[in-house]
Amino acid sequence: MSQAYIVQAIRTAGGRRNGKLAGWHPADMAGEVLNALVDRSGIDPNAIEDVILGCVSQVGEQSWHVGRNAVLASKLPERVPAVTIDRQCGSSQQALHFAAQAVMSGTQDVIIAAGVESMTRVPIGSPSALAQSAGIGTGPWSKRIQDRFHVKEFSQFSGAQMLAEKYGFSRERLDEFALGSHQRAARATRAGAFASEILPLKIEGGEHTADEGIRYDATRESIGAVKLLKEGGVLTAANASQVCDGAAGLLVMNERGLRDHGLEPLARIHQMSVTGGDPVIMLEEPIGATQLALKKSGLSIRDIDLYECNEAFASVPLAWLKGVDADPERLNVNGGAIALGHPLGATGAKLMTTLVNALRARRGKYGLQTMCEGGGLANVTIIEAL
């Protein structure tokens, strides 16, 4: 069987809600990422055999097959097909898995895996909220599902609170982690760590080249002053991921693709896993998924040089660290979604772009990425830097 390689990886800088990327239609933003992958690799656009694009809220400007619309908004020829997928927050990480599986099988040799989400123009929850406001259906969870799990709805906020309670995390511990995310992201930005991975996008008055959500002046006091989301809980907007606009993409090839186009890879896909677990606590599944991925790969957590565990809420990476006995110094070393934003369907490709670059910059060998996802799902990808 062939191997799967990441040849190029790129992302936009994150935009805050109603911020610098608010003027970008998501199809155009994703199209710019596709263009950049082609331009930076120097590959003939006609060589792209498929585009697999993740997107969560597929309604409005992200409806009518936003993956195909991204191709139509790019310089890729119209003969290049596309598919839009939804594995919730792991959508573009799953896009990478599907792309890798295709080139490993040999059915295709050159694929783009990407993701996009404009949370300004298509707010989270829009598909369900808009349908219900129009009188279309009663919601995503049938009575059979509600009866089975003894809930009226599945809530990521409830899951994050349950996770904090299960692992014994206080408000102060979550805030401490959140502060660290901003501090790491600020250091990385000032040091130019993101410079090569960020695609500048034209905006009014110039270009958007730096993640907009980083709070360079964050302190324990400022984070601690943010009100609780629920009285008696530990969650706040400051210790959860930021609403974000953004897109990211990865050019994926097998050996034949590399040979035919004379390209050198950045990393090799070493292992891919996806698992399902408790949909009520929901956000704990990265622990079990990581344990499975490590077992299948023959590696231990100590063999992994860097980890990216998405900071949907601070309780998620903190629980993951405890659950897999990982080294906190190797986790999200350039900051995470609390500081940099979580553009839902784009986050998987965004984190992989950062992981590939950080691993190579530190001359590490193995990197691991995992993501909690709606419905109690989790993807894990282990890469080897080349």
Q: Which of 32, 31, 118 is nearest to 69 (CA)?
A: 31
Residue 56 in tokens? 């969560």
Let me know if 244 is a catalytic residue.
Answer: no
Let me know if 89 is a catalytic residue.
Answer: yes
Q: In angstroms, what CA-CA distances link 279 with 282, 285, 374, 376?
A: 4, 9, 7, 4
Q: Hey, CA dihedral for 198, 194, 267, 316, is it positive or negative?
A: negative
φ/ψ of 245, rounded to 5, equals -105, 140
Q: Transcribe 63-128 into DSSP letters.
A: TTTHHHHHHHTSSS-TT--EEEE-BTBTHHHHHHHHHHHHHHHTS-SEEEEEEEEETTTS-TTHHH
The answer to whether 27 and 61 have CB atoms below 8 angstroms apart is: yes
User: Catalytic pick from 89, 97, 182, 208?
Assistant: 89
Rounded Cα distance between 123 and 54, Å, is 16
User: Catalytic pick from 182, 208, 270, 342?
Assistant: 342
User: Catalytic pick from 55, 244, 309, 372?
Assistant: 372
φ/ψ of 205, rounded to 5, equals 90, 5
Q: How open is the CA angle 75-80-64, to the nearest 5 degrees?
A: 90
Let me know if 182 is a catalytic residue.
Answer: no
Cα dihedral angle (192, 198, 199, 204), rounded to 10 degrees? -70
Catalytic sites, residue numbers: 89, 342, 372
